Amino acid sequence: MLKIHHTNVFGCVLIEPVIYTDSRGDFMETYHKAKLEEVLGYKIEFVQDNQSVSRKHVLRGLHYQRGEHAQAKLGRVVRGSALDVVVDLRKDSASYGKNYMVELSEENRLQIFIPRGVAHGFLALKDQTVFSYKCDNYYNQESEAGIIYNDPDLAIDWGVSETDLILSDKDRALPNFKELYT
């Protein structure tokens, strides 16, 4: 059983598992295709699973795939904790330009469904944070894109000083939100 919570980004949902605990430990359902499709109102077929391991204060993102290679994702933290952030890039969306953030952790076991056309990033809050996600389309390097993590118009508060953040050179060079369609 899964509990679904809608977010302020259209089509992006937070998924809370029901956890069954007894003397042996616990059990939870992490994915149920039919239930997710019922909530989304359309079919989804995941074709690729990815996983990263990050040190505390590593920020990955904000990433997305353009065009025919766009990806919907279902993400969760298996170990550690991460501040997860999404930004709606769909010009025809009622939530265009809005962002949503949530802490995903091994303790709360929350998952996030990120629809196509929405950028995604996360900040590892603990060492050895393991972030795992399913994608409904294969990765395509030529379609890779992103938005700078500290875009002033998005005003995302990552909760960590700039000097403590660890980013790739590629993520530091991403364009601002306003530059996407100019």
Please give the backbone phi and psi of residue 169, each rounded to the nearest 5 degrees, phi first.
-60, -40
Q: Is 139 a catalytic residue?
A: no
Candidate list 57, 63, 100, 120, residue with the active-site label: 63
**CA separation for the pair 118, 6 (Å, rounded):** 15
Give CA–CA dist 113/39, Å, rounded: 11
Residue entry with tokens 């149920």: 32
Residue 63 is among the residues annotated as catalytic for this protein:
yes
- Marked catalytic residue, from 64, 100, 133, 149: 133
Q: How far apart are the first and last CA of the chain?
A: 44
- As beta bridge partners, residue 101 has 85
Q: Tell which residue, 153, 152, 149, has the closest CA to residue 164.
A: 149
Which residues are known catalytic residues?
Answer: 63, 133
